[in-house]
Amino acid sequence: MQGEIMDIGLDNLLGETARIKVEGYRFVTISCVEINEIRMELLYHFDRNFQLKHLRLSISRDCRAPSISPVYFAAFLVENEIQDLFGIRFHGLTVDYDRTLYLEKDVKTAPFCKFAVVEKSPVCEEKTP
Amino acid sequence: MIRHGILIAAALIFGPLVGGLISGMDRILTARVQSRIGPPLLQPFYDVIKLLGKEKVVVNVWQAFCANAYLTAASIAVVLLCLRSDLLLILFIQAVGSVFLVVGAFSSTSPYSQIGAHRELLQMLCYEPLLILVAVGVYLQTGSFRIAAVHALHQPMLLKLPFLFLVLGLVLTIKLRKSPFDLSTSHHAHQELVKGLLTDYSGPLLALTEIAHWCDTALLLGFCSLFWATNPIGALLLVAVTYLMEIWIDNVCARMNWRWMLGYGWGMGMALSLVNLVWLYAR
Amino acid sequence: MFTMTSTILRNLLKEPATRRYPASVRPSFEAARGEIRNDIHVCTFCGVCAVKCPSQCITVDRKAADWSYDPSACVQCGVCAEVCTSGSLQQARDYRKPVRKKELVVLKGATTPPKHSDPPVTG
Amino acid sequence: MTRTIIPFGPQHPVLPEPIHLMLTLDDEVITEAVPAFGFVHRGLEKLVEIRDFHQMIYVVERICGICSMLHAMCYCQGIEEMMGIETPPRARFLRVIWSELHRMHSHLLWLGLFADSFGFESLFMQFWKIREKILDIDEATTGNRIIVSVNVIGGVRKDLTLEQTRGILSELKSVETELKRLETTILNDYTVQNRTVGKGVLTAKQAYELGLVGPTLRASGVMQDARMLKYAAFDDIAFTPVVETDGDCYARCKVRFREVFQSIDLIRQAIGKLPNGEIAVKVKGRPDGEVTSRVEQPRGEVFYYIRANGTKHLERLRVRTPTFANVPALLTMLPGAGLSDVPVIVLSIDPCISCTER
């Protein structure tokens, strides 16, 4: 994959993102990949003059991730999308659709997950996996 | 008396008929200048017949009443024009009809309808004073507000009131809801307000407003024809040229906003009328 | 202002760009991707088309010599005709005519070797 | 008038596609705008689980009806990079030709819709009339008008004959003349300028920080165009991005209008340098690993993240379409604008909602 990849944890995600913003990177998007029944992977993509930089965050399915939308406003849309499709909850979202961006209000499942997951309330918060 | 009866009946039938046919021709010509074939000539009538056949959904009683009142006022205005009655009376009755249309839109709760009604009021505010000024010009020329006096002239009014005729053209553009003035509602719904003023009228009630609109068109074009009242062919030509200009304006302008309309309409309209009136008075 | 005038006058004098569609139809381009037709007498029921089809609108039953195709699910990509081993699948130039009901095109081939004297049946 | 709340869309005649905007108005001035989506979400990314990586080309093409060719191209380039496939030069040039034809018809479509958004119906018809010529070229050369399905992994499926390239060049000439005729109207007409100049202004800093892409970003004075990555045959073709500095709806219109001419130029260059040879190479094996791929679509940069695991089904396909990146701009531009400017501003980012929701 083009560009450098950095593995990060829940605790230094916001710090890294802020640093990347200061360096003049543009927010591209976040990709969510389902690894197995427990782990999910969030890939944050940034770009500066066509040089990509990726942050790789491994996260447990029932964890809440901090939202980077206070740093990059544009991230609110994709974070809401991940909330809807993969069921990972974000906290601190600037605009929170509460899983209604694509879904109806009463949907509890995450349609993009291969392993059928019904939404539960998150058990851990900002804990390094 | 019988003659009057026939005239009234003719006005009631031919007013909307002529308006509808003009609307059909308008649609064909507009299509042609846009490189399209366009609908058949009778399409407006097909549309209205279809609307009349639809289920009647009344948003509230007021609105139903208003649609009927609008049609009534518009027809009365056409009848009075055919009877060669008082110009001011005709204009006021026409204005009353438009007010009913606005009130009907205000009586519904849809925001599109509300904003459309608001804009329509602003449009009326813009064109009504201008219409009165044109009537004043006619009075200065003929010495009377009666249309019969216009017909008694030996020379076409256009020669003496050229600028006021332009003002009438401006009013016509607003009344016909042509670009750049299709603010409150437009013939197609590609507008920020969708159908604006007419959003909540539907089915047979919408058909009534459409027929009333044809009456309004016939009335205003009849008013235009007065400017060449000495010769029927001249009158016809004048109306045809005026309408062609309307189609032209419609197709070379973008839609503007109401601030621009007030500024431009008033500024331009008032200036042209005053120039003409002062000129008439000075002679 | 009024910069559009010359254009609209030109349009008025020229023929309209639109057609009265059902009455006048433009002939299809040579390369146009239209309806999928199967010459069932040539078809060997190998099933490659069914495997490659991205919208999975073709089903082939080898034993019963059945070839069925769902035109309303077809995306007209032409992959099936491209991969057809026997050359029985062809993509016609013309589009399929509109229909009132969705229906499957089911073609039944002979289980015996193809007879070339028969007129080809297309679907 | 007092505070009004207008539900703008999802089915609004001005909007080509369903997006819902909850507008709070204070006497025809917008104070707040909240967009809502989810009316055309199809979950196409999820289809990787049941369609193999060859079939996915036809799926990603259908993400968007207007930039379909570029979706497929981006996807194929990603897989080719992952599998280490070198595409033949002729295929790369052909990709440029078809992708620029796509940009042209997309921009012409947009120019028409944009004219319609400020009520200039006859101009709208003109642009769409010209667009029809491009669609005819597409149909004559590839077989389909919009979803051309020419890309395969390893190259392209269709070739251009000498006669066809001549046909394209002569059609482009007439398109160019007809467009030149409309230039004064779309760029210099008083009524058009009145509706577009100074509306929805975004500064270069704002636009960059919001992560905008494509003409929306370039109209604000940031020179960024994914074609500068020199994918396909862009390393052999002279290319400078079109940039405007005003950042308003007029500048966006100008960028797109000039890009149509730029595309004509790029197609001419590509046809002039079109090398002979194969149009596709055979693909063996299966993709493995992860890759990102970027292509400049008419609406801006599209970003693909592909992860594969050596089977015929990909593990994950993630698509970030340009409109998805441009939507946040609406939240910045709409507050403070008048109601009559809403269609103009919303269309100025060239929203493609099918793309956004996939």
How do the domains of chain D map onto residue ranges?
42-349
3-state secondary structure at position D155: strand
Instruction: Quickly state the pLDDT bin for D340 (edges 50, 70, 90).
Output: confident
Query: For D175, left (φ over 0), alpha (ψ -120 to 50), or beta?
Result: alpha
Judge: D185–C7 Cβ closer than 8 Å, yes or no: yes
Q: D118, D121, D261, D112: which is closest to D193 by C-alpha? A: D118
Judge: B35–C9 Cβ closer than 8 Å, yes or no: no
Q: Contacts of residue C18 in chain B, CB cutoff 8 Å?
A: 35-37
pLDDT of residue A116: 63
Tell me which residue range forms the domain holding B226: 2-282
Q: Residue C77 falls within a domain, yes or no?
A: yes
Q: Which residue has the higher pLDDT, A127 or B106?
A: B106
pLDDT of residue C123: 44
The CATH-assigned architecture of domain D42-349 is Orthogonal Bundle (1.10)
Return all residues near A15 (Cβ < 8 A) that are at least 6 apart: none
Neighbouring chains of B at 3+ CB pairs within 8 Å? C, D
Mean pLDDT of D279-299: 87
Instruction: Quickly state the pLDDT bin for C112 (edges 50, 70, 90).
Output: low
D312 touches C: beta carbon within 8 Å? no
Return all residues near B92 (Cβ < 8 A) that are at least 6 apart: none
Q: Residue C92 falls within a domain, yes or no?
A: yes
pLDDT at A59 over 50: yes
Neighbouring chains of D at 3+ CB pairs within 8 Å? A, B, C
ipTM over 0.90: no
pLDDT of residue C10: 85
pLDDT tens column, D139-165: 889 888 888 888 888 888 888 888 889
Mean pLDDT score of chain C: 81
pLDDT of residue D233: 84
Give the total number of structural domains in chain C: 1
Beta-strand (E) ranges in A50-120? 51-60, 63-66, 89-91
3-state secondary structure at position B199: coil
- Beta strands D20-26 and C105-108: pairing type? unpaired
A interface with D, Cβ–Cβ < 8 A, is 1-3, 26-29, 31-34, 43, 45, 50, 52, 72-74, 76-78, 85, 95, 97, 100-103, 111-112, 114
pLDDT tens column, D163-196: 889 999 999 999 999 899 888 888 888 888 888 8
Tokens of A18: 């802020």
Mean pLDDT score of chain D: 88
Q: Which residue has the higher pLDDT, C114 or D202?
A: D202
Nearest to A45 among D36, D292, D357 (CB): D292
How far does the CA of residue A128 sit from the closest CA of chain D (Å)?
25
Share of chain D above pLDDT 90, in %: 19
3-state secondary structure at position D280: strand
Return all residues near D254 (Cβ < 8 A) that are at least 6 apart: D187, D219, D244
pLDDT tens column, D32-68: 888 888 888 888 888 888 888 888 898 898 888 888 8
Instruction: Quickly state the pLDDT bin for D128 (edges 50, 70, 90).
Output: very high
pLDDT tens column, D60-104: 988 888 888 889 999 999 999 888 888 899 998 999 999 999 999
Alpha-carbon torsion, ordered D265, D222, D81, D268, to 10 deg: 0
| In contact, B188 and B195? CB cutoff 8 Å | no
Q: Alpha helix locations (H) across chain C?
A: 5-13, 48-52, 79-83
Mean pLDDT of A80-86: 87
Give the total number of structural domains in chain B: 1
Instruction: Using 70 as the pLDDT threshold, list the residues of chain B that sit under it.
Output: none
Neighbouring chains of C at 3+ CB pairs within 8 Å? B, D
Nearest to A31 among D43, D305, D331 (CB): D305
Say how far apart CA D25 and CA D6 lie, in whole Å.
7
pLDDT tens column, D299-309: 888 999 998 88
Mean pLDDT of A49-54: 88
Sign of CA dihedral C15, D106, D149, C100: negative
Q: What's the CATH number where C96 sits?
A: 3.30.70.3270
User: CATH topology for A4-125?
Assistant: Beta Polymerase; domain 2 (3.30.460)
Judge: B35–C3 Cβ closer than 8 Å, yes or no: no
